[in-house]
Chains A and B, each alone.
Chain A
Amino acid sequence: MSALLEVRGVTKRFGGLVAVNDVSFTIAEGEILGLIGPNGAGKTTLFNVVNGVFKPDQGEIAFAGQTITGWSPDQVVRLGLARTHQIVQPLNDMTTMENVTVGGCFGREQLSLEKARQLADEVLKFVGLSHSAHLLARDLTIAGKKRLETARALAAWPKLLLLDEVLAGLNPTEVTSMLQLIRTIRERGVSILMIEHLMQAIMNLSDRIVVLDFGVKIAEGQPEEVTRNPQVIEAYLGDPNIAEKLMESE
């Protein structure tokens, strides 16, 4: 498998704070890579660097065979790298349908308005938001807004999807259906890089896990390896027996 995304030695500083420190990893095509770490570890900053919201101070990012270091977010999404936001960013006074149509119009395929509407229709069905298609985005529930984030990103027809805590704030039923949705997305050939605090969910979904702490990558590997890593346990998980607990139940 060739690498779809390659992050090489990326560093991002804010003043004296090193938010992301010399981080490298790759994502293969069709892979789900989980990104975990304590609050403030630099996970969202790393997302922002990957999709072009921030320029890295050092390091390079290559996506789909091109170096995209320093590209702006709109260029990155046209190349097929879409994302969701941890703090949802709905286009409030537009309908759910219009929100998703924006994704289709300006994403990888640069669809015409008409084609983008058709795609939005399908994507809304796919994420289970059809019944809310004509509601204003501001009137959606939190779960609805999270799904809207995902739907908009999907409408961009991405090769790689960055999901930033799409499970946070959802109730158990909503979590289950969102997990199902993520699996279905992957089955359609979309690679996924996801940040998540729900350990059980991310351990079961991910092919591999990368752990960040204070901006540094402290571990990388299969979920079982990572959960047994003493450094990870100390920094984040806290419980030496957590691996068994997490992997047992789903």
Chain B
Amino acid sequence: MIFKRPFFWVILAVSALFAVLPLKGNNVDLREGLILGAVSIILATNLNLMIGYTGYVNFGNIVSYGLGGYIGVYLVASRGWPLVAAAVAAGVAASLFALLLGLAILHLRGAYFALATIGILEAMKAFVSNFGPWGKAAGIYLPFDVYQSLGGPMQALWTTYFLVIVVMGLSLLLSYVIKISKFGLGLFAIRENEDAAIVLGVRTSLYKAMIYGISSFFPAVAGAFIFFKSGTIEPMQAFDLTLSIEAIVMMMLGGQGTVTGAALGAFLYEELRGYLLTSPALSNFHLVIAGGLLLLIVLFAPAGLMGWVYRSVPRLRRYLE
């Protein structure tokens, strides 16, 4: 059973730590820092399912986040849905969208698939920018009174924080459960050699579409919470290619294919970005760093931080998967 595995408890402990740390002394600064870290972990962890597990580079990974944000905000603002229900609906809708899209485009391989995902991202941005019910290019603003149902704006910020931490914990668990399952083994086989995987009996088309759909769920839920929290959503910010690429850097930095690696890379990168963004001399310099970092990782450490950790302390493989 999964409860007997050490890594299950590692995930639980880390998530609990995220939830508890800012509570001490009502530390709002720490909370705002950690929520960014948590969102990065959610994006990188779910992206890892596509790239690290299945070997399909998805430059449009941010589509599910933005789409989830739009659906969630729209359902809360215009339809009066409760936040959690809206977020789950956003997750389900984004997953179904990805699943259907996956069945259509996942026969493409390598660079062609990657190009198609960029196309999807841009098409989605263009569509939403012209979609009347979602406010076209101006986006949607949440009326202030939606926060009343969560006990006022201050309380709402805490509530969304805890919800995002829950999504983070579930993302990590999902990633881990898939990694140790038969489904995961099939995905790894696809990553290593898709033609061989088919001959060995893996239903590759179905598996790829499924993981595309599954990996879209939690980013969409997180998107709904985050854009609810910020009170506004508009296309440029929701479907930002830069964020997609940064998610790839995060995952590569920590080590693709491992649960710990994707999460650790995301957290470290987010910390670094926070520092670079707030330092006045280096405004927007973080993208230069991200680009340089990606180059260095791909050239010299394709297995990322975890590759180095596993080589140095092989025993850690058992505890940090």
Write the residues of chain A forming the contact surface with B, with a CB cutoff of 8 angstroms. 51, 53, 72-74, 77-78, 83, 85, 89-94, 98, 101-103, 105-107, 112-113, 116, 152, 156
Write the residues of chain B forming the contact surface with A, with a CB cutoff of 8 angstroms. 181-182, 185-186, 188-189, 192-193, 195-204
Contacts of B182 in A (CB 8 A): 105, 112-113, 116
In the assembled complex, the CB of B55 is this many whole angstroms from the nearest CB of chain A, namely 10
Q: Of residues A51, A74, A85, A105, which shows the largest number of chain B Cβ atoms within 10 Å of its Cβ?
A: A74
Contacts of B196 in A (CB 8 A): 85, 89-91
Mind listing 28 A-B residue pairs with CB under 8 Å? A51-B199, A53-B195, A53-B199, A72-B198, A74-B199, A74-B200, A77-B199, A77-B200, A83-B199, A85-B196, A89-B193, A90-B192, A90-B193, A90-B196, A91-B193, A92-B193, A93-B192, A94-B188, A94-B189, A98-B188, A102-B185, A105-B185, A105-B186, A106-B201, A113-B185, A116-B182, A152-B200, A156-B201
Complex CA–CA separation, A246 to B197 (angstroms): 38
Q: A102-B186, A113-B181 known; A94 and B192 CB under 8 Å? A: yes
Interface contact B192-A74, CB-CB below 8 Å: no
Contacts of A74 in B (CB 8 A): 198-204
Complex CA–CA separation, A156 to B198 (angstroms): 12
Q: Which of A112, A113, A156 contacts B200 (CB 8 A)?
A: A156
Counting from the closest, the 6 A-B pairs by CB-CB distance are A106-B201, A91-B192, A89-B196, A77-B201, A113-B182, A73-B199
Complex CA–CA separation, A73 to B199 (angstroms): 5
Interface contact B193-A106, CB-CB below 8 Å: no
Complex CA–CA separation, A156 to B195 (angstroms): 16
Complex CA–CA separation, A26 to B57 (angstroms): 44
Tell me the number of A-to-B contacts counted with CB atoms below 8 Å.
71
Nearest residue in A to B190 (C-beta to C-beta)? A91
Q: A89-B195, A94-B192 known; A106 and B202 CB under 8 Å? A: yes
Complex CA–CA separation, A102 to B186 (angstroms): 7
Complex CA–CA separation, A77 to B197 (angstroms): 11
Complex CA–CA separation, A113 to B182 (angstroms): 6
Interface contact A98-B185, CB-CB below 8 Å: yes
Interface contact B203-A91, CB-CB below 8 Å: no
In the assembled complex, the CB of B315 is this many whole angstroms from the nearest CB of chain A, namely 15
Complex CA–CA separation, A78 to B202 (angstroms): 9
Contacts of A105 in B (CB 8 A): 182, 185-186, 201
Q: Provide the main secondary structure of the chain B interface.
A: helix
Complex CA–CA separation, A116 to B197 (angstroms): 16
Interface contact B201-A91, CB-CB below 8 Å: no
Contacts of B188 in A (CB 8 A): 91, 94, 98
Contacts of A78 in B (CB 8 A): 201
In the assembled complex, the CB of B202 is this many whole angstroms from the nearest CB of chain A, namely 5
Contacts of A90 in B (CB 8 A): 192-193, 196
Interface contact B200-A107, CB-CB below 8 Å: yes
A74-B200, A85-B196, A91-B193 given; 18 more Cβ-contact pairs under 8 Å = A51-B199, A72-B198, A73-B199, A74-B199, A74-B201, A77-B199, A77-B201, A83-B199, A89-B193, A90-B193, A91-B189, A93-B192, A102-B185, A106-B186, A106-B203, A113-B185, A116-B182, A152-B200
Q: A90-B193, A93-B192 known; A102 and B202 CB under 8 Å? A: yes
Interface contact B200-A103, CB-CB below 8 Å: yes
Q: Which of B181, B189, B201, B203 contacts A107 (CB 8 A)?
A: B201
Contacts of B195 in A (CB 8 A): 53, 89
Nearest residue in A to B184 (C-beta to C-beta)? A113
Nearest residue in B to A108 (C-beta to C-beta)? B201
Interface contact A102-B189, CB-CB below 8 Å: yes
Nearest residue in A to B181 (C-beta to C-beta)? A113
In the assembled complex, the CB of B258 is this many whole angstroms from the nearest CB of chain A, namely 12
Contacts of A51 in B (CB 8 A): 199
Nearest residue in B to A88 (C-beta to C-beta)? B196
Nearest residue in A to B257 (C-beta to C-beta)? A93
In the assembled complex, the CB of B182 is this many whole angstroms from the nearest CB of chain A, namely 5
Contacts of A73 in B (CB 8 A): 198-199, 201
Nearest residue in B to A89 (C-beta to C-beta)? B196
Complex CA–CA separation, A107 to B186 (angstroms): 12
Q: Of residues B181, B189, B195, B199, which shows the largest number of chain A Cβ atoms within 10 Å of its Cβ?
A: B199
Interface contact A101-B185, CB-CB below 8 Å: yes
Q: A74-B202, A113-B181 known; A102 and B193 CB under 8 Å? A: no
In the assembled complex, the CB of A73 is this many whole angstroms from the nearest CB of chain B, namely 5
Contacts of B199 in A (CB 8 A): 51, 53, 73-74, 77, 83, 85, 89
Contacts of B193 in A (CB 8 A): 89-92
Complex CA–CA separation, A107 to B185 (angstroms): 13
Complex CA–CA separation, A94 to B202 (angstroms): 16
Nearest residue in B to A101 (C-beta to C-beta)? B185
Complex CA–CA separation, A85 to B203 (angstroms): 19
Complex CA–CA separation, A74 to B200 (angstroms): 6
Complex CA–CA separation, A171 to B133 (angstroms): 71
Contacts of A72 in B (CB 8 A): 198
Complex CA–CA separation, A90 to B188 (angstroms): 12
